[in-house]
Amino acid sequence: MRNLLSIADLTNDEIEQIFELADSAPRLATDKTAAGQIMATLFYEPSTRTRLSFESAMHRLGGAVISCSDMKSSSAAKGESLADTAKVVSSYADVLVVRHYWDGAVQAMAENADVPVINAGDGRREHPTQTLCDLYTLRKEKGELRGLTVVVCGDLKNGRTIHSLVFALARFGANVVTLAANGMELPQYVIERLEREYGYSLAPVAADDLSEVVTETDALYLAPKQPHQLALFTQVDAAMQNRLNTMVSGLRYDAFYVTRKQKERMKEGTTGGSYPSIGPSFLKQSRFKETVVMHPLPRVDELSREVDKDWRGIYFKQAAYGVPVRMGLLKFLFDQRESKKPSAKKIAKWYQSPEPLGPQCPNANCVTVTETGSTRRRFELVSGSPSGALLLACVYCNHRFKVQFVGHTKSKRYCSYDMALSDTVGDWFKKKELAIFDSIKEAEELGYEPYKSGPQRTIMDQTEIQDAVREISQQILRDCEDVDRLLILGVKTKGSYIGQRIAGELEADRKRKFEVGEIEIYGSLEEIRRISVEEPNELPLNLKDREVILVDDVIYTGRTVKTALSIIFKAGRPRSVRLAVLIDRGHREVPVKPNYVGKHIPSSERERVRVKLREAEHDEKDKVVIYSMISPAETVV
């Protein structure tokens, strides 16, 4: 039995097969291919196209449809779980089509259903059948997907159609240009996956290439195996600055894929700001004379009605293809029911905590958080992330987060995760002896004791840290060309605290406020956020033409900084980025040189440097300590 939860569940050949079935929709209708079959549509969120085109497709195939007109009038309103609903409805129908506002909800239903389940959109995650319609439309219009350049435009962060679409375009060898509204950029994990799995690289698009569409955001070009490298716009390193000159210009744009602002997935008060739109000026540009305009619809005001009258506006065709494509998909899934062929998605080895307490997905909209009874907390263990951290990726919502503490179930010891432990932890994972904890409290409640580390030596005390922060602040002011453009961005968590202290010094010196933000390297939701106690719901930080000071506590391999720079670059083109760190340990793996350093501590690879700040440690005074690592591997019996 095959489900369709993600576009990754289908191989390229299977997608082609579905398209062939869609091409033969009139014959499928004549043959009444689905006679005697029943489809249930369970839509917990509004829909016009997806729901009605699925229902139309099933009717045309000779099948029947059952539905709840409004899930608020179903037993969900009495508190029935997703698991129970899936179980019950699968005894009434042969296929379930589900849309839900929680990330991963459709997967939770599929795990409990006895018939195939199709994802008709889950939270911010995926909308794979929309992607099938998009690819089908593009192929019909442009002949082949390979080599096309598609500009995805608007809310690339919250738009679930976009995430499915860019992976699918990459799989078929198309190039992608991202043109995001400020604060709505394509998530970093999507970019990293495109780089890792499809060999895509990132380059900036020359500013005037798309100026008819947007003036306030910058475009990025993602293309397979091009000579372009990730171009980081920074003064942190001269080599990186030089790469900026490899801007891509004069591209042939085959399609613009416009999306609406997903206001329903945004916090109140954060929905304002400029937004890329397509209108009459786009139509007049000779550069776009062969560029088709697509939109998953519904539109709001990002797509002018002027475009409707032009042959290039193909979004109503795109919506109409929803019926034959979904007819093809239903036929494909019905034919697969007896097949033992697994879905295309590789089943990785999941991590599930062997202990009653264990990691929890931090995404508040994840189905594992909202509906614990219908789900099992499982994660993909992601080692080898660009920053060297060990990450967990939630199986349901794909949200990634950093592992803080690891424990060994046999020795009942724990320690904070360190890159040096990667082989040991991999070994524990294989033997199912790995415990992961979100906090020390959690580990100690389960009777785990800390691994011993070597003797600690304080290398900076409170006064020295304070002096270093003050000196860095003075240097920043001396180098700054325009204080109005200054933006302090700290890497979460300790870099962010130091950044706030630097901002405090700048404010005391200049008697004015400075903007401060925080970068989340590992998560998959809010990558850059403003730190403002008074007005937490202000608009996203604008990075364009800013003098950014990136702040972290310790620089070692440089990989964290590289990821942070990539996120900054994606969010807008600042005038410059300078790097401030409290401690520079040397040992760089990537060419990043900090501009401001509190203290240079050349240290051996076995040594660990920890910055302890009172904001993070609560009861401790500030200090920086150095100690040797005693590997847990050596103490495990």
Residue closer to ligand CP (CB basis): 45 or 505: 45
Residue 48, interface with ligand CP (CB under 6 A)?
Answer: yes
Residue 50, interface with ligand CP (CB under 6 A)?
Answer: yes
Residue closer to ligand CP (CB basis): 328 or 632: 328
Residue 439, interface with ligand CP (CB under 6 A)?
Answer: no
Residue 47, interface with ligand CP (CB under 6 A)?
Answer: yes
Beta carbon of residue 51, minimum distance to ligand CP (angstroms, whole number): 6
Residue 300, interface with ligand CP (CB under 6 A)?
Answer: no
Return the residue of 68, 76, 244, 297 that touches ligand CP, per CB under 6 A. Answer: 297
Calpha distance 148→195 (Å, rounded): 18
Beta carbon of residue 48, minimum distance to ligand CP (angstroms, whole number): 4
Q: Which residues neighbour 494 within 8 Å (Cβ) at sequence distance 6 or greater?
A: 552, 553, 611, 613, 616
User: Residue 399: phi, psi to the nearest 5?
Assistant: -65, 135
* Interaction mask 83-122, ligand CP, x per CB under 6 A: --------------------------------------x-
Judged by DSSP in three states, 2 sits in coil
Residue 320, interface with ligand CP (CB under 6 A)?
Answer: no
E-strand ranges in 455-606 read 457-460, 486-491, 515-519, 528-530, 547-555, 576-584, 596-600
Return the residue of 49, 261, 377, 546 that touches ligand CP, per CB under 6 A. Answer: 49
Q: Give alpha helix (H) positions in 67-159.
A: 82-89, 105-112, 128-142
Return the residue of 276, 296, 495, 523 that touches ligand CP, per CB under 6 A. Answer: 296
Beta carbon of residue 297, minimum distance to ligand CP (angstroms, whole number): 5
Calpha distance 631→303 (Å, rounded): 58
Beta carbon of residue 41, minimum distance to ligand CP (angstroms, whole number): 11
Residue closer to ligand CP (CB basis): 111 or 155: 155
Calpha distance 278→296 (Å, rounded): 14
* Interaction mask 121-150, ligand CP, x per CB under 6 A: x--------x--------------------
Beta carbon of residue 322, minimum distance to ligand CP (angstroms, whole number): 8
Centre a 10 Å sphere on the Cβ of residue 262 and count the other Cβ atoms it contains: 18
E-strand ranges in 315-446 read 350-351, 379-382, 391-394, 400-402, 405-408, 413-416, 434-437
Beta carbon of residue 59, minimum distance to ligand CP (angstroms, whole number): 17
> Is residue 494 within 8 Å of residue 611, measured between CB atoms?
yes
Beta carbon of residue 255, minimum distance to ligand CP (angstroms, whole number): 16
Secondary structure letter of residue 65 according to DSSP: E
Calpha distance 384→400 (Å, rounded): 13
Which one-letter amino acid corresponds to residue 31? Answer: D
How distant is the alpha carbon of residue 541 from its chain centre? 18
Residue closer to ligand CP (CB basis): 46 or 342: 46
Relative to beta strand 449-450, strand 457-460 is: unpaired
Beta carbon of residue 50, minimum distance to ligand CP (angstroms, whole number): 3
Residue closer to ligand CP (CB basis): 296 or 574: 296
Beta carbon of residue 128, minimum distance to ligand CP (angstroms, whole number): 11
Residue 352, interface with ligand CP (CB under 6 A)?
Answer: no
Calpha distance 391→521 (Å, rounded): 11
Residue closer to ligand CP (CB basis): 51 or 570: 51
Residues that bind ligand CP (CB under 6 A): 47-51, 121, 130, 296-298
